[in-house]
Structures are given as C-alpha cells and as structure tokens.
C-alpha cells in the first residue's frame, strides 16, 4: 500500500501520525522457511540484508516497513544506506561499517490470520505485542497531535517527513490511497537514467551530468539533468555501468536541442533518486541533487507528476 502526497491533516480526529523514515521499503516474511525480504518491485533482497535473519524462528508473520541505516545521533542516513543497496552479499567488514535496521510500521499476517481487512489501529496493536529482536524497531504512532505539530517534530528530529493514516483504514496492496497521506520535508523524485553529458575540468574523465527521465502521460519524458551530489567513487563506477548500456537512439521524449547535442544515450534500465527544489513550468526538475541508485525499483515504476 502506498501513501498519497499531500498536506498533513490539521486535526487528529480519525488519524494516526508516524514519522517518515528515509530508507528502502521492504516486506519481510517469516515462518518455517526462515526469513525472506522483498523490495517494492518484488525482487528477493534477502541476501543483501542478513541482519533481518534475526527474525528467524519467531512467529509466522508478514511485516511491512523500511530498511534504514542510522548515522550520527541515530538519524536515518540515506548516504550510509547507499553503501549497502548495491551489494548482493555484503562482507563482514561492510556489515560492521554500515549496519542496517528494519523499521516496522505494519503487520499484514500473523500466524494463521490474514490482517489486510483489519483496521490500522488493530494491526498496530498486534504489532506492539510482538517481541522483536535487536535491530528490528516498531516506532510509536501518535493519535493526539495535529498534522502541523507532527511535521514540526519531524523537522526538529531531522526526519524525512510524516505519514498520516486513517485509524480505520484497511491495507490495500498496490494501491496509492488517500487513507495514507505522506508529507515530505525534503522533496525527492525517483528517476530513470537515460544518458549522460561529458564532463569538463576535474570531471573530464567521467561525466558532467546524468540525463533523467520519468513516465508521464504514457511516455518516458525528459525531466532534467543532475550534476551534483555524487561521491567521487560513484562517478567512475556509474560511467563504467552506463557505457555498457550505450545506445544510439534517444529513449526520451522532449529533450531540448542543447542537451541532445552532446548527450550519450543509454538503455533506460537504471532507476535512481534525486532531491530537488521544485518543478519548473516545463515539467523539469529545478536544482536537483543526486541521492543514489534505487536498484529495488524497475524503470517502469518511475512516474513524474503532471506538468504544472
């Protein structure tokens, strides 16, 4: 189930509020077969996050939550999580340097009972009764605060934002519902990498910017370029990967002539994420900054909002 973007409810009546965690959405199933973890596009990412095996040997459950890496002060660090997101079988050294936690916010199945049609409050009550191992967290939800106050608390705690959920909402898999409303303090957008432009100066050996696309009105449309936010080691790694995907044909609709003149195109197979200031009147990202690849997403899942 996915949340619709919007302003938080002004009054708490009928709503619960949670913090929005900056990580990777994941479902975790436990039972006789051990532990299995899946990302949003349903790949098996169990081996990538062995910390979640701590849930083995417990009750038969299906959990919904966010995989996060905690940085200074115990705050989620997407940059630290990036070190784990592309690694199928992390080494002991990497596990020690960038450990992850699983933040659980919903319980969809428990023992022999399916809970999808149970109201949110009932699912949360059952979740609170579970004995969870170290590294698996079930943060509290709040029913006695207003949306603006919860958003102010999220800002003070340096969280990504808030999610408001109707107390009586059932769980609707695959549906983006206004029964859940997410409010982000930092604007982020999933993107498809469609090409790159040559670098200059100290970036002459790598690339200057990635050319970005997202699906809008049934087409993969150009939504801008991003040239900042990259770690130095990312530049070479990304360029090597992109050169292996080169194609002659531009895969995007609506690329400006000045971009197309120097761009090198690739098969739009890689998804990523950027932070940005706002959308322009042309439907492009203003002042985007790279956050990292999103290997758990398929390019077909990447959509942009309608052009202003």
Q: Which of 20, 222, 291, 294 is catalytic?
A: 20
Q: How many residues does the chain have?
A: 308
Query: 118: which DSSP letter?
Result: S
Structure tokens at 35: 């532990």
Distances, alpha carbon 259 to alpha carbons 123, 206, 271, in Å? 50, 17, 20
Torsion sign over Cα 77, 36, 134, 91: negative
Pairing of strands 15-20, 219-226: unpaired
Annotated active-site residue 20? The verdict is: yes
Active site residues: 20
């Amino acid at each position: 189930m996915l949340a619709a973007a919007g302003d938080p409810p002004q009054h708490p009546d009928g709503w619960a509020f949670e913090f929005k965690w900056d990580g990777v959405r994941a479902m975790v199933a436990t039972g006789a077969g051990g532990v299995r973890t899946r990302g949003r596009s349903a790949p098996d990412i169990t081996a990538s996050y062995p910390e979640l095996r701590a849930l083995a040997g417990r009750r038969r459950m299906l959990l919904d939550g966010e995989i996060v890496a905690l940085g200074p002060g115990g705050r989620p660090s997407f940059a630290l999580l990036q070190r784990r997101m592309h690694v199928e079988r992390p080494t002991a050294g990497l596990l020690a340097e960038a450990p992850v936690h699983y933040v659980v916010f919903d319980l969809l199945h428990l023992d022999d009972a399916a809970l999808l049609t149970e109201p949110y409050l009932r699912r949360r009550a059952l979740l609170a009764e579970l004995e969870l191992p170290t590294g698996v967290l079930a943060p509290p939800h709040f029913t006695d605060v207003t949306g603006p106050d919860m958003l102010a608390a999220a800002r003070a705690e340096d969280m990504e934002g808030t999610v408001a959920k109707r107390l009586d909402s059932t769980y609707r898999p695959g549906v983006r519902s206004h029964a859940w409303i997410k409010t982000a303090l930092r604007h982020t957008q999933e993107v498809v990498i469609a090409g790159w432009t040559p670098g200059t100066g100290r970036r002459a050996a790598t690339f200057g910017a990635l050319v970005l696309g997202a699906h809008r009105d049934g087409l993969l449309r150009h939504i801008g370029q991003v040239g900042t936010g990259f770690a130095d080691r990312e530049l070479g790694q990304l360029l090597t990967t992109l050169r292996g995907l080169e194609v002659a044909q531009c895969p995007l609709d609506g690329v400006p002539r000045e971009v197309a003149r120097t761009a090198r195109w690739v098969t739009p197979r890689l998804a990523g994420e950027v932070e940005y200031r706002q959308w322009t009147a042309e439907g492009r990202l203003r002042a985007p900054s790279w956050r990292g690849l999103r290997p758990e997403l398929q390019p077909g899942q990447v959509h942009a909002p309608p052009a202003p």
